[in-house]
């Protein structure tokens, strides 16, 4: 008899998929999918991060990759049950390939696969040493001249990069480099993280004084070591800095602080990088096989060139260099920009007693933090989610299971609800002259982040100051020039100024490749970030995944890693497995290496 329970439905499809794939029958496998299906693969079949959209793309991928991948053992994940709601049956699933174990998620609609997520959990024979396999730590018994753990660590630190070359070098030791470094450490991939700041956490510490994380704690955990249950909802920047410093130490990362990468080049013949690092007054040349740029999406300041910058007598700096408000009491400040940093800096200056004007050139998406937490994040990343059994890992995978092509469809209703709930707030902001948007297609903050990484403020209070005029606003204008003591706007307004802050955002990570490697390599790799959604600042064609992030690029052995804490945590797993596989000589034929449509 046909089993019509959710478990029965999922198991039946998984059994059929298993049979079809094991016997190499691509057509039979593809017939199990809906017409408008999505298969998102994180490394298991494609050695890439890739979404197949529609049956044809699923077929093409299977024809290219099935024989090599040899998938088997598809089943509902151990300890899990399928569930059903609104005509969709879904379940956590597990499977194997010839070289790896996989975990994933499946949604069925009308008995066929609508969305399938396949992710690599571990490489067979190269599992992380956890649980029963954890290291002993102590060496029981007796041994002459034995080394302690501390002596062994010191020896490793002294040797790696000098007497012995690392397999991988990560440039940039912010949270991205640190999270990836931790994963690689567990996989026994010799790695050095090169960071120009003195200490881990400094990239947060060095930011403006008032900064607290904009995302809540449930979204921000690092791999392996979640924040304790008493950790504040919004980490102050210096506290997250301390956490990163502690994490780097206890995770035993080879972290070179006060070390700046000056140059890197790749030799196609030896398939090796030459990485020139300035460390402690000396130049050191590293020769890794893999190079990861974790230099930060929000780390390359966009500083506009404005007539009169050279004659202005007051202070002027990019938001990333803003020291905080203390010395600006009773001063006149002009902040150029209207996104997160601009709002945070304006609010702190207002609190310190400065006379402050925000200059807004174009529309900005504003969402109140409470509303974002309540309506946008609560089901996956909140205390309620934790209480109902949701882990950060499962939340990440559920999020990953929603294909980018249709993600906006899930987001639009959320932001419509937020607009309704906060209608009065938005009305007051508009009345003050603030130019609002909700994303090109009303899909709100997260889509803006994925598409262009900018264009929003998560309101933690500054918007009220804009609405009530405490922060003065000039909107729909640009800066024309600076004079010795003022900022002149495109509508002719002249604002007297002692301080000008350029909260004008950050450049593409591709720029780091140009600076450190070459313009030629940067162009070969192309634009980093964005989905190709053909919305503002995210030109088409559609890519289906974020450009160049966490996956192979057009430059052999060059990788980009970063994003927010959630992305660093989640995608470091897949990047670390790609690197480990290469180190172990496992074949990694990349399916669907992205084409380059835009230069950096």
Ligand X SMILES: Cc1cc2nc3c(=O)[nH]c(=O)nc-3n(C[C@H](O)[C@H](O)[C@H](O)COP(=O)(O)OP(=O)(O)OC[C@H]3O[C@@H](n4cnc5c(N)ncnc54)[C@H](O)[C@@H]3O)c2cc1C
Query: Which residues sit at the interface with ligand X, rule CB under 6 A?
Result: 171-177, 194-197, 203, 207, 211, 213-215, 220, 260-261, 294-299, 340-341, 516, 562, 564-565
- Note whether 451 and 535 are within 8 A (CB): yes
Nearer to ligand X, 89 or 197 (CB): 197
DSSP result, 507-554: --THHHHHHHT-HHHHHHH---S----SBTTB-SS--SS-TTBSS--S
Nearer to ligand X, 118 or 319 (CB): 319
Residue 249, C-beta contacts closer than 8 angstroms, at least 6 positions apart: none
Q: How many C-beta atoms lie closer than 10 Å to residue 591's C-beta?
A: 17
> Please, what is the angle between helix 565-583 and helix 392-400, to 10°?
80
User: Minimum distance from CB of 349 to ligand X (Å)?
Assistant: 15
User: Minimum distance from CB of 438 to ligand X (Å)?
Assistant: 20
Nearer to ligand X, 375 or 516 (CB): 516
Tell me if residue 585 falls in helix, strand or coil: coil
Nearer to ligand X, 57 or 553 (CB): 553
DSSP state of 506: B
User: Minimum distance from CB of 285 to ligand X (Å)?
Assistant: 14
- The residues pairing with 454 across neighbouring beta strands, listed in sequence order, are none
User: Minimum distance from CB of 294 to ligand X (Å)?
Assistant: 5
- Note whether 303 and 504 are within 8 A (CB): yes
Nearer to ligand X, 91 or 290 (CB): 290
User: Minimum distance from CB of 120 to ligand X (Å)?
Assistant: 22
Helices (H), 109-211: 149-159, 175-186, 202-205
- Note whether 336 and 502 are within 8 A (CB): yes
User: Minimum distance from CB of 564 to ligand X (Å)?
Assistant: 3
Nearer to ligand X, 260 or 383 (CB): 260
User: Minimum distance from CB of 277 to ligand X (Å)?
Assistant: 8
Return the H-helix or E-strand segment holding 59.
Answer: helix 55-69
- Note whether 472 and 399 are within 8 A (CB): no
Nearer to ligand X, 40 or 318 (CB): 318
User: Minimum distance from CB of 37 to ligand X (Å)?
Assistant: 31
User: Minimum distance from CB of 189 to ligand X (Å)?
Assistant: 18
Structure tokens at 326: 């203390």
Distances (CA, A) of 203 to 197, 334, 530: 7, 25, 23
Nearer to ligand X, 564 or 578 (CB): 564
Nearer to ligand X, 90 or 545 (CB): 545
- Note whether 178 and 253 are within 8 A (CB): yes
Residue 66, C-beta contacts closer than 8 angstroms, at least 6 positions apart: 21, 24, 26, 45
Nearer to ligand X, 61 or 558 (CB): 558
Cα 398 to Cα 443: distance, rounded to the nearest angstrom? 19
User: Minimum distance from CB of 566 to ligand X (Å)?
Assistant: 6
């Amino acid at each position: 008899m046909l089993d019509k329970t959710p478990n029965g439905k999922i198991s039946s499809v998984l059994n059929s998929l298993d049979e079809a794939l094991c016997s190499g029958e691509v057509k039979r496998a593809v017939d199990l999918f809906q017409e408008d299906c999505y298969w998102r693969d994180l490394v298991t079949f494609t050695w890439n991060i890739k979404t197949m959209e529609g049956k044809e793309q699923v077929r093409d991928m299977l024809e290219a990759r099935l024989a090599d991948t040899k998938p088997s053992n598809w089943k509902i994940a151990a300890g899990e049950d399928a569930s059903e709601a609104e005509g969709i049956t879904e379940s956590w699933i597990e499977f194997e390939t010839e070289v790896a174990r996989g975990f994933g998620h499946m949604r069925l609609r009308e008995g066929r696969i609508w969305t399938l997520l396949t992710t690599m959990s571990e490489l067979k024979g190269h599992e992380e040493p956890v649980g029963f396999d954890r290291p002993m730590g102590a060496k029981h018994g007796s041994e002459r001249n034995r080394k302690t753990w501390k002596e062994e660590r010191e020896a490793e630190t002294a040797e790696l990069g000098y007497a012995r070359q690392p397999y991988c070098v990560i440039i940039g030791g912010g949270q991205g480099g640190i999270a990836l470094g931790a994963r690689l450490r567990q996989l026994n991939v010799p790695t050095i993280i090169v960071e120009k700041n003195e200490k881990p956490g400094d990239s947060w510490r060095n930011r403006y004084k008032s900064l607290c994380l904009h995302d809540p704690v449930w979204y921000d955990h690092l791999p392996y070591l979640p924040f304790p249950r008493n950790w504040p909802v919004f980490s102050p920047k210096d506290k997250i800095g301390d956490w990163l410093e502690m994490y780097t130490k206890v995770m035993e990362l080879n972290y070179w602080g006060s070390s700046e990468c000056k140059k890197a080049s790749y030799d196609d013949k030896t398939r090796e990088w030459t990485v020139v690092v300035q460390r402690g007054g000396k130049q050191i040349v590293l020769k890794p096989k893999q190079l990861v740029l974790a230099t930060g999406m929000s780390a390359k300041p966009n500083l506009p060139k404005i007539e009169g910058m050279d004659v202005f007598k007051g202070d002027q700096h990019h938001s990333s260099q803003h020291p905080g408000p203390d010395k600006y009491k009773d001063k006149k400040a002009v902040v150029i920009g209207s996104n997160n940093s601009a709002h945070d800096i304006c609010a702190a200056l207002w609190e310190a007693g400065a006379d402050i004007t925000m200059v807004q050139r174009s529309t900005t998406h504003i969402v109140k933090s409470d509303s974002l937490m309540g309506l946008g994040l609560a089901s996956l990343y909140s205390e309620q989610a934790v209480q109902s059994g949701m882990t950060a890992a499962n939340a990440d995978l559920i999020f990953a299971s929603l294909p980018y092509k249709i993600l906006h469809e899930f987001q639009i209703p959320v932001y419509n609800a937020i607009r309704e709930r906060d209608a009065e707030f938005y009305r007051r902001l508009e009345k003050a002259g603030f130019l609002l948007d909700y994303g090109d297609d009303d899909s709100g903050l997260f889509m803006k982040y994925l598409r262009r990484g900018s264009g929003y403020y998560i309101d933690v209070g500054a918007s009220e100051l804009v609405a009530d005029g405490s922060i003065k606003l000039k909107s729909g204008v640009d800066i024309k020039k600076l004079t010795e003591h003022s900022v002149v706007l495109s509508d002719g307004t002249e604002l007297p100024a002692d301080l000008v802050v350029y909260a004008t955002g950050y450049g593409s990570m591709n720029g780091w490749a140009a600076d450190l490697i070459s313009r030629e390599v940067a162009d070969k790799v192309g634009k980093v970030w964005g989905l190709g959604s053909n919305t503002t600042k995210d030109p088409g064609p559609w890519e289906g995944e974020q450009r160049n992030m966490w996956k192979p690029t057009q430059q052999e052995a060059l990788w980009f890693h970063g994003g927010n804490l959630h992305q660093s945590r989640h995608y470091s797993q897949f990047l670390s497995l790609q690197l480990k596989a290469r180190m172990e000589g496992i074949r990694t034929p990349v399916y669907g290496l992205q084409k380059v449509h835009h230069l950096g």
